[in-house]
Amino acid sequence: MGKITIAIDGFSSTGKSTIAKQLAKSLGYIYVDTGAMYRGVTLFAMRHGYVGGEEDNIDGLLEALPNINLKFVYNKALGFSELYLNDENVEQEIRTLAVSRQVSRVATIEAVRLKLVAMQQEMGKDKGIVMDGRDIGTVVFPDAELKIFMTASPETRAARRYKELLGKGEKVTYEDVLKNVQQRDYIDSHREFSPLKIAENSIEFDNSDMGLKEQLDRILNFALRII
Ligand code: C5P
């Protein structure tokens, strides 16, 4: 089977990573969750007080950027890769609402994007990859053979994320989660550097009323037609 690059972009909590992960498994491809990388930088920034306190210290974060070492390590038992920040497994911590509240602002910083995009391009240089994020089809791999843009209503997405966070034992309200989803949508699509937008030649995919299996079958079909 040939190897292609598959870019999956879209708004937050559209279920991109669930689909991308399954798709990669079905094709024997590598899966990269780029949102995890922005979350990793954000967690570092929060721990060092560069964001999340009374006042942001973006200059401090920029200076510390070379000290941020991110890598994905495959967890055989779980069947997927986990994010390590300076050799510490931060997979759980990066998914909290506290990190979600800061991440979109950190993701507006050009130097942060340049660092992470370079890493992502390196990871995908041999193709055979499914990458999900906000700028994969527009900036990271504009030549990707298959580009999907996932959407769903904010209420559907917030309900999914709310259930997920409750399942992890986080004390959150549906209203807080909806507000966060809407704020991230706004910041992600209005930022100056690589804003979230539909890439050229992208297939738009609204999954508000679609189950996981149907989504996977459809996208797998698109991929197999190209491969
Ligand atoms: O995908 P996820 O919701 O985990 O991403 C967290 C945040 O990281 C997004 O809301 C967005 O601000 C940022 N992001 C980005 N570019 C990407 C992936 C994520 O700006 N390629």
Residue with tokens 């209503």: 153
* 5-226 fold: Rossmann fold (3.40.50)
Q: What is the pLDDT of residue 84?
A: 98
pLDDT at position 185, please?
A: 95
Q: Mean pLDDT in each 10-residue stretch from start to end of the chain (227 residues)?
A: 93 93 96 98 98 96 98 93 98 97 97 98 98 98 98 94 95 96 96 95 92 94 95
Domain boundaries in the chain?
A: 5-226
Rounded CA-CA distance 70/187 in Å is 24
Q: What is the pLDDT of residue 2?
A: 83
Do 71 and 81 meet the contact criterion of CB atoms below 8 Å apart? no
- Both tokens assigned to 95: 């998914």
Measured by CA distance, the residue closest to atom 1 of ligand 1 is 35
- Provide the pLDDT for residue 161: 94
Q: Annotated binding site for ATP: which residue ranges?
A: 10-18
Give this prediction's pTM. 0.96
Residue 40 · residue 89 · CB < 8 Å = no
How much is the ipTM here? 0.99
What's the pLDDT at 151?
A: 94
Q: What's the CA angle centered on 81, arms 126 and 1, to 5 degrees?
A: 35
104 lines ligand 1 (CB under 6 A): yes
Going by C-beta distance under 8 Å and a sequence separation of 6 or more, which residues neighbour residue 120? Answer: 32, 34, 37, 131, 133, 136, 140
Q: Which of 9, 12, 110 to mutate to test the pocket of ligand 1 (most atoms within 8 A of CB)?
A: 12
